[in-house]
Structures are given as C-alpha cells and as structure tokens.
C-alpha cells in the first residue's frame, strides 16, 4: 500500500540536453526539484499548492489500497523560478483518513 500518489511534469525545453532531464536518472537523480534546477542555473523561489478534497477514482483507490470513492486530498503543486516561470508541476493524491496535511508559513519581517 502506498501513502500517496504523485505525478509531476517539468518543461522539456528547460531541461532538454542537461544532466537533470530525467528527474530519477543521472547524477542529480532524486535530488528534488529545487536542487536539480539549481544544478542548471535556475533558482526556485516559491511553490503554490492548491489542496482540495474529493473522492478517489477506481485507479487511485487500487494504487493506494483504499476503497473506491474514499475521501482523498488532491494537491496541485507548482514550483516557480525567481523569474516567475513554472519549472515543475505535480498532482499529489493522499488518502484523507491516512494523512494529515500541515502547512508552515514563514513570516518575513
């Protein structure tokens, strides 16, 4: 049983021909989007997450080991560069009964 599903996309025109073209391959495999983008000179400045409750699809339920139609939290997350360009977006699905979603928001002074 998995605790969450995550599918992400990155702009190929940004990563093509670089060592980070494959997020889970090469010398920066699994390093995370912030570190991988830094390796090609892109500074990630912030992310936007949109969580919404909904019911699991049959495929999601099967992959997560939960009942079809069980409540899940679907999070759409996009990382942006300091130039305002989206550099990665992801759809994350977590079973509401098994996961607590907590946000910490830093306050600048």
pLDDT tens track for 21-56 = 988 888 888 889 999 999 999 999 999 999 999 999
C-alpha span between 49 and 53 (Å, rounded): 13
For the chain, the domains span 5-95
What topology is assigned to 5-95 in CATH?
Chorismate lyase (3.40.1410)
Residue 7 has pLDDT above 60, yes or no: yes
C-alpha span between 78 and 90 (Å, rounded): 6
pTM score of the predicted model: 0.86
């Amino acid at each position: 049983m998995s605790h969450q599903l995550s599918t992400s996309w990155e702009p190929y025109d940004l990563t093509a021909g670089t060592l980070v073209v494959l997020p889970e391959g090469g010398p920066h495999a699994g390093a995370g989007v912030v570190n991988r983008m830094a390796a090609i000179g892109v500074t990630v400045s912030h992310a936007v997450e949109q969580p919404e409750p909904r019911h699991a699809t049959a495929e999601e339920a099967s992959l997560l080991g939960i009942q079809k139609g069980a409540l899940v939290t679907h999070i759409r997350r996009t990382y942006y560069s300091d130039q305002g360009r989206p550099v990665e977006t992801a759809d994350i699905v977590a079973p509401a009964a098994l996961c607590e979603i907590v946000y910490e928001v830093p306050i600048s002074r």
